[in-house]
Chains A and B, each alone.
Chain A
Amino acid sequence: MGAFLVRRLAGMLVTMFIISTLVFIITNVVPGSPAALILGEDRTPDQVEALNRELGLDRSVPVRYVQWLGDLVTGDFGTSYYNDNSVASVIAGRLEPTLMLTFTSALLAVAIGIPLGIIAAVYQGTRLDYASMVVALMGAALPNFWLGLLLILLFSLYWSVFPAAGYASIFDDPGDTWRYLVLPAITLGASHAGVIARMARANLLEVMGADYLRTARSKGLRERSVVLGHALRNSMIPTFGVVGVALALMIGGSIVTEAVFAIPGVGRLLIESVLRRDFPMIQGVILLIALLVALVNLAVDIVYALLDPRVRYA
């Protein structure tokens, strides 16, 4: 297990280095002037030049890359072009909403998806199966920004149940946090709930066809206990993998959701930074997302290994 972890962590470092280099190259060849955006409509050429000097944009791309990498090794992620704050502190400040949103959405997706999948599998071929799968498909097919806007219309404007936008930190205002998270979590969770439901159904059906269950049935166990006692546990292992993948994808999906609900998370930070050509910030956020995704995958692999004794760390 120890060697497995070391190998995986080393792989993670290599992947992150490749991603960060790619991102650096991509962002720095993009046309656009961060200085012009900061200075506004009345800027003069020498103001732009002075700000470019302040930002270090007068140096060549390779020089900037070496400097950035050097800083990175010492733990310095750089300074935002746009508002002059440290990248690390800005990202740290915006991490909580994204993590909370992703976590809540994943929880919601599992809480809806897995029961739906089980019902469909147990009642395979009946109308209930059919209805569950249509619901799952619909969840997966709704464009989530549209769903978000519709939810705001219904729950914020017409019924005034939940706030339309924003976020309350769990450290300042734990009682309010969940109110801000409900609509975004539904928006982000819906599509993944659909995928998880379909996955859970497929896996359960596969397991239910297995020999040992036929044995269990022939021993006279009731179908209900066959499903709950044997099939369910074994079918959950591959389903769990899907939850891991969904969690990783949600980190990306949160960009759209955060934009709709004005949630100050890293997803919105990324899109804002792209539009502002805030290169140090883009690099920081992408690096963070890569790290989160890698960690989620690592966690999934570890749990997989713990659940399924057949997996070897070869």
Chain B
Amino acid sequence: MTKRFPAIGQILGASILSVSAIGGAAFAQSELNVAMKSQPPTLDLHVTSTNTVRNVGAHINEGLFTFDENFQPKPMLAESVARSDDGLTYEITIRQGVPFHNGDELMAEDVVASLDRWMQRSSFGRTLARYVESLEASGDHSVTMTLNEPASFVVTALTTWRAGPFIYPAEVIEAAGEERITDPVGTGPFRFVEWNEGQDIILERFDDYAAVDAPASGYAGKREAMVDRLRFVFVPELSVRRIGVESGDFDMALDVDPDSFDQYQDNPDVVSFLGAPRMTTLIPNKAEGVMANPALRTALQAAVCVEDVLPVYGGETFWRADPSITWQETAWWSDAGSELYNVCDPERAQSLAGEAGYDNQQIRLAVSSDDESKFSVAQVLQQQLQMAGFNVELEVRDAAAHEATLDSKEAWDLAISEHTYRTHPILHSHLQATWTGWWESEERDRLVGEFLVASEEEAHEIWDKIHALYFKDVVVIKIGDYFEHHIAADEVEGYANMPEPFFWNVSLSE
């Protein structure tokens, strides 16, 4: 059985995930076991965009806003938001009577403390911070944010899901100081119980949870812990995660191989989920080395045939060729500049390379040995580019050494990235000159500046221009989209299959 990600709109009507399971909560001590590959480095949601952190932490902490199933921001801990006519002041009202897991009520000071820290520590927070003049509590349950120039993306930024502005009690923030938060207290439907190092993290239902009075939609609306305990188990071996679900040890396994998909189609005990699309890109180092030559980047771009790369992600269900660096499922999708996507013309690439003055210099493709799919993509691309006359060499390192390499301008020429899509273009880290590959561009800065203060329609036009610039400057070479594969035992009901997995509103039948 399968649930595709794009079908989330109808998910509540779908047969296996039907609402008939509401009575399931009556059982004593139900436990949902979710197997994931590795354990998170921390439960501090502000400091890292690592998805293991968010997968666990988002059950404990909540933000002011979150996305509904159509990726529109909806209030979560916020009650409402009002924008002044000049666009410079945002007054955010916070819901009353929302308790933290420690029993204290959520107050404006908690929100201010959390947002302040987030704007210092999170990379997205800092994007917003550049526009923020002041942030203060204007009442027990209201917060006022004043901007130094109008910016259209305030609510979107506050809705960020990765390294997002999750709310902690002010004293937890204060206790952490400059360090990471070690006391994960939040307002979420589950509360933190224990972390057995290397083994599992256990959460349990928070009985006093104050749910939003709105139907569940995506991450938004009513959240309810339908199981007593939620346990995240760390299982490094992929096959073992799968066997665990098939044999009943686990209820869900995240991130299993797509090639098992066909097998589960005929298996009534296991449900396959196609996760959110992620994008694969080839990033050239635009600061130093051979790839700093834009003409050579254009030549390389012309040599790439995505249909010969994407099958590393499994059968055709699991990938699609798509030129956009914004999500096909959102209004921000764009194909401006896409005539340079998937050109797949080695001869043209060769002549362009000649014109660019390329004389068989070595091109270093840096890749981490720990990430199987990126490594596969790198191997296929290496062969493809070599055949088109580029002297590409793989430089394989383990994750820690690889990441350190990426931080150094002279150490690499090409790298592979598997990036989660952002619901709003401005949240894309590509846009920052400090991101991997160092895209310095005055035109980009000018366009982004215009984009941030533009009206909705204008913004789309400007975004198309930025998008075309991506291709012209060859900021990244887009390969395509691929889908993650999660599996669940058929007892699992109500799993919403949003891009980032979550397990409130999920119950176990029987």
The minimal Cβ–Cβ distance linking A268 to chain B, given in whole angstroms, is: 6
Q: Which residues from B are CB-within-8-Å of A93?
A: 196-198
- Say if the beta carbon of A94 comes within 8 Å of chain B: yes
Please state if A37 and B49 are interface contacts (CB–CB under 8 Å). no
- Say if the beta carbon of B204 comes within 8 Å of chain A: no
Q: How many residues of B are counted as interface, with CB atoms below 8 angstroms from the partner's CB atoms?
A: 56
Please state if A32 and B163 are interface contacts (CB–CB under 8 Å). no
Please state if A156 and B247 are interface contacts (CB–CB under 8 Å). yes
Closest A residue to B178 by beta carbon equals A54
Known: A38-B42, A157-B246. A84 touches B182 (CB 8 A): yes
Q: Determine the distance from Cα of A259 to Cα of B235 in the docked complex, in whole angstroms.
A: 9
- Say if the beta carbon of A39 comes within 8 Å of chain B: yes
Please state if A164 and B196 are interface contacts (CB–CB under 8 Å). no
Give the interface size class of chain A.
Answer: 35 or more
Q: Which residues from B are CB-within-8-Å of A94?
A: 197-198
The minimal Cβ–Cβ distance linking B64 to chain A, given in whole angstroms, is: 20
Q: Determine the distance from Cα of A51 to Cα of B178 in the docked complex, in whole angstroms.
A: 9
Contact of B198 among A33, A36, A268 (CB under 8 A): A268
- Say if the beta carbon of B240 comes within 8 Å of chain A: yes
Interface-facing stretch out of B255-263, B349-357, B359-367, B401-409 = B401-409
Interface-facing stretch out of B119-127, B445-453, B466-474 = B119-127
Please state if A149 and B239 are interface contacts (CB–CB under 8 Å). yes
The minimal Cβ–Cβ distance linking A257 to chain B, given in whole angstroms, is: 12
Contact with B along A214-242 (1 / 0, CB 8 A): 00000000000000000000000000000
Contact of B237 among A51, A163, A259 (CB under 8 A): A259
Q: Which residues from A are CB-within-8-Å of B47?
A: 38-39, 47, 51
- Say if the beta carbon of B179 comes within 8 Å of chain A: yes
Please state if A261 and B407 are interface contacts (CB–CB under 8 Å). no
The minimal Cβ–Cβ distance linking A258 to chain B, given in whole angstroms, is: 9
B241-264 with Cβ < 8 A to chain A: 241, 243-244, 246-249
Q: Determine the distance from Cα of A54 to Cα of B429 in the docked complex, in whole angstroms.
A: 24
Contact of B42 among A42, A83, A260 (CB under 8 A): A83
- Say if the beta carbon of A82 comes within 8 Å of chain B: yes
B390-409 with Cβ < 8 A to chain A: 397-401, 403-407
Contact with B along A14-49 (1 / 0, CB 8 A): 000000000000000011111011111111110110
Known: A84-B182, A152-B240. A39 touches B407 (CB 8 A): no
Q: Determine the distance from Cα of A160 to Cα of B397 in the docked complex, in whole angstroms.
A: 38
- Say if the beta carbon of A264 comes within 8 Å of chain B: yes
Most B Cβ at <10 Å: residue of A37, A42, A84, A93: A42
Q: Determine the distance from Cα of A33 to Cα of B399 in the docked complex, in whole angstroms.
A: 9
The minimal Cβ–Cβ distance linking B399 to chain A, given in whole angstroms, is: 6
Interface-facing stretch out of A67-75, A271-279, A290-298, A300-308 = A271-279
- Say if the beta carbon of A165 comes within 8 Å of chain B: yes
- Say if the beta carbon of A109 comes within 8 Å of chain B: no
- Say if the beta carbon of A85 comes within 8 Å of chain B: yes
Please state if A44 and B249 are interface contacts (CB–CB under 8 Å). no
Q: Determine the distance from Cα of A85 to Cα of B406 in the docked complex, in whole angstroms.
A: 27
Please state if A42 and B162 are interface contacts (CB–CB under 8 Å). yes
Please state if B400 and A42 are interface contacts (CB–CB under 8 Å). no
- Say if the beta carbon of B315 comes within 8 Å of chain A: no
Contact with A along B315-343 (1 / 0, CB 8 A): 00000000000000000000000000000
Most A Cβ at <10 Å: residue of B237, B241, B399: B237
Q: Determine the distance from Cα of A273 to Cα of B230 in the docked complex, in whole angstroms.
A: 26
Q: Which residues from A are CB-within-8-Å of B126?
A: 44
Contact with B along A234-271 (1 / 0, CB 8 A): 00000000000000000000000001111011001100
The minimal Cβ–Cβ distance linking B165 to chain A, given in whole angstroms, is: 14
Q: Determine the distance from Cα of A41 to Cα of B406 in the docked complex, in whole angstroms.
A: 10
Please state if B406 and A260 are interface contacts (CB–CB under 8 Å). no
Q: Which residues from A are CB-within-8-Å of B234?
A: 262, 264
Please state if A167 and B197 are interface contacts (CB–CB under 8 Å). no
Please state if B48 and A33 are interface contacts (CB–CB under 8 Å). no
Q: Which residues from B are CB-within-8-Å of A259?
A: 236-237
Please state if A33 and B400 are interface contacts (CB–CB under 8 Å). yes
Q: Which residues from B are CB-within-8-Å of A39?
A: 47-50
Q: Which residues from B are CB-within-8-Å of A165?
A: 233, 235, 237, 240-241, 243-244, 249
Please state if B432 and A44 are interface contacts (CB–CB under 8 Å). yes
Contact with A along B106-131 (1 / 0, CB 8 A): 00000000000000010110100000
Contact of B370 among A40, A84, A152, A275 (CB under 8 A): A275
B170-192 with Cβ < 8 A to chain A: 178-180, 182
Please state if B198 and A157 are interface contacts (CB–CB under 8 Å). no
Please state if A43 and B196 are interface contacts (CB–CB under 8 Å). no
Contact of A38 among B48, B417, B435 (CB under 8 A): B48
The minimal Cβ–Cβ distance linking A182 to chain B, given in whole angstroms, is: 14
Please state if B434 and A45 are interface contacts (CB–CB under 8 Å). yes
Q: Which residues from B are CB-within-8-Å of A164?
A: 240, 243-244, 247, 249
Please state if A262 and B400 are interface contacts (CB–CB under 8 Å). no
Closest B residue to A33 by beta carbon equals B404
- Say if the beta carbon of B199 comes within 8 Å of chain A: yes
- Say if the beta carbon of B348 comes within 8 Å of chain A: no
Query: Which A positions have Cβ atoms within 8 angstroms of B?
Result: 30-34, 36-45, 47-48, 50-51, 54, 82-85, 90, 93-94, 149, 152-153, 156-157, 160, 163-167, 259-262, 264-265, 268-269, 272, 275-277
In the A-B complex, list the 3 residue pairs whose CB atoms are closest, starting with the nearest.
Answer: A32-B400, A264-B198, A36-B403
Could you pull out 26 A-B pairs where Cβ atoms are within 8 angstroms? A32-B404, A33-B400, A33-B401, A36-B404, A36-B406, A37-B400, A40-B49, A40-B53, A41-B417, A42-B124, A42-B162, A47-B123, A54-B179, A54-B180, A83-B42, A93-B196, A152-B239, A156-B243, A157-B243, A165-B233, A165-B235, A165-B241, A259-B236, A259-B237, A268-B198, A272-B38
